[in-house]
Structure 1
Amino acid sequence: MIETGIPKLDKFLGGGIPRGKSLVYYSQPGVEGEIFGLQTVYGTLKTGGTCVFVVSSTIPDIVKGQFDEFGWDISSFKDKLFFVDSYNPLIGAPSNEKYVVSNPDRIEDFHKTIMDIIKELPPSTIVFGSLSTIMDLCGEKETIEAVRTWNKMAMLYDHTIVYNFTAWPYSDETLNLIKGDLFNSVISIGGIAERVIFGQYFGIMKSDWAEVSRKSMLFRVLRPGGIKIFIPKILVTGPFDAGKSTFVHALSTRAISVDRLGTTVAMDHGHVEYKGFSADIFGTPGQERFDPIIKLLSGESMGVFLIVDSTNPSDFIRAKHMLDITKSYGLPYVVVANKQDLPGALTPEEIREQFHLPEDIPIVRAVAKDKIGVYEAFEVLLDRVTGGI
């Protein structure tokens, strides 16, 4: 298996892309789709693989600079990374790369170079930076026929072959072929805008080696960092003095609270970068007069942490009420049993019994002030938000 290095995608694909298989990143115009090919190159190199990157939209030096922009040092992979230059010849400039397409507007020349690579190199990951550009230069039908041959030959020589494709207004026949039987796997990349949520997403359109999940992942592109799974809003709620602000600050890369005399009077806001995920977290005040804030944020959130003081069961009635507000929106949630270091702290089993919670609702032990259990709770909620993929 070849790992793409893209958060969640390798798990979507059952561990990555098998040798001999082809995959296309099928991007809608306007989204940052080309980063998927770049990150696949770096993901291959990091795990010891050999990689070929076919450059067709700009000069190779600019592409090399993009790796630096994302914080990916490729200087130590000189013997494992090869660039195919199909741009400099187009503008009449000399090329310093080992592999050059002498006439990039002729599919025959393109085909010859790719075939030489397939036959010369050991099993590698061959990534096309822009199949769309090749199609624009060489023609739709001609390019598709060449792709069919490249995919077959890659299978015979045990290469993995990956394409970036932008779905410009090509013929319906071309678009249907690309989404259909031309590749072993199709990853759809698009944009979404609804209410306050705006972002980009990816999901599996098809795969002939892995069970296809219809779940899509929102993502951000960070420089440096690359693709990060993006959770637009996670709500942190619970009774007064349960430790919500402490939890938000313990979990967050950066956070801010609006408080008076040590008590939150508006909301806490934090941002988390953790294991390929990017999330914004909002904590609500515990007093009943702020319940409208809970209702507002719950309607735009993707998951909820309910923070309870394990030593103060008298507040559980209030916690149940706050949980009911969020549950009315059908959100996945995790109960965080905070202050587990204090005398008299109830166990998760005792808390479950008092709340009458079903067994499938996670209750995570935590000491938020010491960051104990904080990231464990975050991972559990992420698993629920992303469907356990």
Structure 2
Amino acid sequence: MPGKRHVRLINLAKWLVESAWVALRLFQERCEEELLWAAEMIKIKAQDLKGKEVKVNTSLLYQQTKFNLQREKSEGYAKLGIPISSVEVLEINSKITTACKSEDQTGGRDLVAEIKKWIKESERNKRCIVDYGAVSVLAAAFESFSKTCLDEHVSVLEEILSTLTLLFPLAGEALTYLGSASSMHCMVWFLKSGDLSRRRNTVLVLRELISSDHRRVNMFLEIEGAIESLYKLIKEPICPTATEALFVVVYHMITSTSVADKPIQKFVDMGLVSLLLETLVDAQRSLCEKALGVLDGLCSSDYGRGEAYNNSLIFPVIVKKILRVSDLKTEFSVSILWKLCKNEKREEKTAFVEALQVGAFQKLLLLLQVGCADKTKGQVTELLKLLNLHRARWECIDSMDFKSPKRPF
């Protein structure tokens, strides 16, 4: 009986192919070799076909395995590298110190490049480098090479700055070396000239330096062209990361109680207020927060507020940032608005008029209902009282936030 069934199956398969009910290709893809040979659907014997199939599958498996190994080599295992030891770190630290003493720029640059390569290989290497004092050694090397001719040592100084940006946050002795007079003069020189990468790395290191200790602001401001170089980089931005770092540096400079007036006046005269307002129009969250912080610092002085009053964008842009994206943006925006309105001394009370015309009263009232920090809440309450005195005549509603505005005039 099994033989009869097999014959019937073969005949049925032949008939299905001959009558075009089923395509020959489907039988060849899905049926066993013996049936295909018996039904005359293949020209090679079943046993030979099986052998050929094994060879093809073996070849495909080999090719796939080889491909996987190649991919692992290029994308994974080859990048792991060999973990470094504390002995290697201490040894290279000693070599860098020796290179500094002998003013060996080429040797020092190669040694710093080796540390940079280790850092990029793994997080473990980075921790080992930090734990065994390489950061302080690099900072000391930067100070040492910056004491002599900068033109001769520019390549090693660039390599050190580039490596230090991979080792943030900086602390302790590293900041002391980088905060020396020669180091800061070198960084200002880098800000004025050089390629974009050099200036970007300098700004990032300078942010770490200025943020850690306000006393370094005085030394930085005494360097000729320091403020001008910062403003130029804000006006001609390198990248968002560098611009954010610049705003942090400027913020610490203009909020330092001992020297705030001098940099504020210089920055305002160069046009920083207008530049900040233009940046705020379409800036991303982090950049916008830092730009608002700088603008808030500028508005802390009469000189800064005077320039802000003269800019027609100040109230539309600042009011628009209230209750948008982040609490920090709202706090800075309210603080700026509070400083501008509270210190308004012009007879026309233009600050109140412009604030009301762009819907400041409604925004502040909504913010009070939503809730905010205690300091901001006090400023909002005071602002509402000041604006309410002029509300009946000049009030209007921001159509972006409130529908069907009614403006009684």
Q: Normalised by the size of structure 1, how large is the TM-score?
A: 0.28
Higher strand share: 1
Higher helix share: 2
Q: Normalised by the size of structure 2, how large is the TM-score?
A: 0.27
Higher RCO (CA < 8 A, seq sep 6+): 1
Which has more radius of gyration? 2
